[in-house]
Chains A and B, each alone.
Chain A
């Protein structure tokens, strides 16, 4: 079984549209995972049925028992996140600032503080239109995107893929280079990069490539909207060559991608020249995978 992660560094390059297209092309021989849990979009193209919902708990939050509290303010002094304040004549926890370290609980002389498990989102296991399963999630507002939910989505997808004997796991990764991205890379066999020919696109591509290099994972790259700046496209192609990243394809800017999206479809499900191109890309990716 091969785990394929699609990443972009920069947002808005077309990562999710391309991941969903690959998911449709892989059909029922893949389990799909949306690891962009912070701003998940793939459900808009693959229409999961939200079949099973599991609450996701991650980390803890401090809770103060006011009856036991003597307002000695030792907790306030200990907290490095300014998450405990003296307000309305009592010590109060500011939930959004509490990072759940538990230092306050340890210094409280009267045992008035306890650490409770904190719900940080929901995880879904769904059936999708290609006859397979998709694992996706929704982070609660302002919750810590610690990468733990990403790891959970991935692990769930992996055990499903093993149990149902699938050849692929196709993962839509998060933008950026932080912990959700690192979590989605752990255990991956191949990375598909989606970039665009802008200075920002190339700058962010270089940063994400530095992260991938640390993991020593093989990668290929798609230059999306290549005709917006042909010079920049050439520069990116040269960068890929230097970094020994396979240049998978160039896709032009075309409103049919947006049109497909507004119909809730992937580009391979509407009549366009891109059906053939995406099929070619998918075939190429398959030949790149470890045997």
Chain B
């Protein structure tokens, strides 16, 4: 069984991508590693991982399509659909792809078989390779509003094709709602990246609550340590949340990140943070 680490955070822009890319690249210097970018609305990991593309697949979701010739205009589909994605307008059945959840109810309950399911592109997944690192990125099509189906498809693909890679890191979307629950679903450990500010603390609290609700073990990484105040650390102490590492605020990190470069090769404080995280993983999970 591979060991799966999800990198998440309540607040956006705290350093999820920085940690996910640097940690994955660092581990891959020694062993086979998988990095999966599940921030499908705004995937950024590819900027930092210069790999060779080995595969690209369209990801589809199934959507009903109206077969006018078969339809008896009984109106059942319109009544069944809880998402208002299938609507009867006079003698016309309109399907709103972006509202559809692919539940199949209208299609399979239609007495005339007039709503066959058809594949509709919602995004794509690319697989890249860099040394011992395999990198997978899923990217939502512009205009497509639901991230969860694409995140689920990506998990399925990882489990089918890459289950033999022992170390797997998942870069998750920000927030605390359904895309995060879907992204962290299979994780053995969730690392929450935060910053020592009131915004960071507020969103960390929400993220911790979410992960406890999902029953996930949590570790915290404090990024930009030195700015703001000590309230995040006080909170972790009070809640007995392990702080795995602190990455100091450093303009050099920010500058290299802005150029799309990995930072651990040049910045010692980042290497020692990565080492501390790995030590925690070895001690507590022995993957």
A interface residues with partner B (beta carbon < 8 Å) = 9-13, 16, 38-39, 41, 44, 59-60, 78, 80-81, 96, 99-103, 106-107, 115, 139, 141-145, 147, 174-179, 182, 196-201, 203-204, 207, 210-211, 214, 225, 228-229, 232, 253, 255, 258, 261-262, 264
Contact = CB atoms under 8 A, between A and B. Distances in A.
Interface stretch (B50-58, B176-184, B240-248): B176-184
A84 B203 CA distance: 31
A13 B13 contact: yes
Contacts of A179: 145-146
Contact of A96 (B102, B181, B255): B181
A60 B82 contact: yes
Contacts of B209: 141
Chain B, interface size category, equals 35 or more
Interface string B196-209: 01110011001001
Contacts of B13: 10-13
Interface of B: 10-14, 17, 41-42, 44, 47, 80, 82-83, 101-105, 108-109, 140, 142-143, 145-147, 173-181, 197-199, 202-203, 206, 209-210, 213-214, 227-229, 251, 254-255, 257-260
Contacts, number: 172
A11 B199 contact: no
**Chain B facing A: main interface SS:** loop
Contacts of A225: 254
Contacts of B109: 103, 106-107
Contacts of A176: 41-42, 147, 173-174
Contact of B41 (A101, A106, A178, A228): A178
Given A44-B198, A101-B101, A145 B14 contact: no
A197 B82 CA distance: 43
Contact of B178 (A16, A60, A143, A177): A143
Given A175-B12, A255-B227, A101 B103 contact: yes
A228 B140 contact: no
Given A255-B227, A262-B198, A41 B176 contact: no
Contact of A38 (B104, B145, B176, B257): B176
